[in-house]
């Protein structure tokens, strides 16, 4: 784990309107389907934070090495997962004119303590047993996956930014 921050979000994230979305890379979706994944189980609830500047400002204080910070809440419902994949940062890289994806950093902040059946993999490391506020991050196109084979929703805060060079 990178570090932890003190949770400031209480149950706010549970009241948000999440949009269930498929992974945005159609080639990756086709590959997952071809090898046997049930694509209907590879959706994730997403709620971008745009107008709640107090959330973005609070999160940004913990990531001073990043510019152009984007924040969104994720809800991975029981039985859903994102198989191993590499982020393409399509919208983000266009919006901020980032040509080198290795300059992009992505972090996951766990909104709640770990529950049985909730996992995150990054590279060859498997994460579990986290506490609310624990943070895991990666750069560029690092292979990662998210899994919820538990009995409760898995809530995270995703932070994306560009390394301040």
CATH architecture label of 3-163 = Sandwich (2.60)
pLDDT of 2 above 70 = no
User: What's the rounded Cα separation, in Å, for the pair 131 and 37?
Assistant: 30
pLDDT of 51 above 80 = no
SS3 26: helix
pLDDT of 10 above 90 = no
**What's the rounded mean pLDDT across residues 142-165?**
95
Lowest mean pLDDT among 1-10, 19-28, 79-88, 136-145: 1-10
pLDDT of 90 above 80 = yes
CB atoms under 10 Å from CB of 3, counted, come to 12
pLDDT, tens digit (0-9, with 9 covering 90-100), for 14-49: 999 999 999 989 999 999 999 999 999 999 999 998
Q: Using pLDDT thresholds of 50, 70 and 90, give the confidence band for residue 79.
A: very high
Per-domain residue ranges for the chain?
3-163
- Among the listed residues 134, 90, 89, 144, the one whose alpha carbon sits nearest the alpha carbon of residue 112: 134
Lowest mean pLDDT among 8-12, 74-78, 103-107: 8-12
């Amino acid at each position: 784990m990178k570090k932890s921050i003190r949770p400031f979000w209480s149950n706010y994230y549970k009241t948000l309107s999440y949009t269930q979305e498929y992974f945005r890379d159609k080639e990756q979706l086709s590959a997952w389907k071809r090898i046997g994944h049930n694509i209907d189980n590879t959706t994730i609830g997403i709620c971008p934070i745009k107008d709640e500047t107090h959330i973005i400002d609070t999160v940004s204080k913990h990531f001073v090495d990043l510019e152009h910070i984007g924040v969104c809440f994720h809800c991975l419902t029981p039985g859903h997962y994102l198989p191993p994949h590499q982020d393409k940062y399509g919208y983000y890289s266009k919006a901020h004119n980032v040509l080198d994806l290795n300059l992009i950093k992505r972090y996951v902040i766990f909104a709640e303590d770990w529950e049985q059946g909730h996992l995150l993999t990054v590279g060859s490391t498997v994460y579990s047993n986290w506490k609310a506020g624990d943070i895991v991050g990666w750069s560029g196109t690092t292979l990662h996956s998210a899994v919820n084979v538990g009995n409760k929703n898995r809530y995270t805060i995703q932070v994306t930014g560009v390394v301040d060079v």
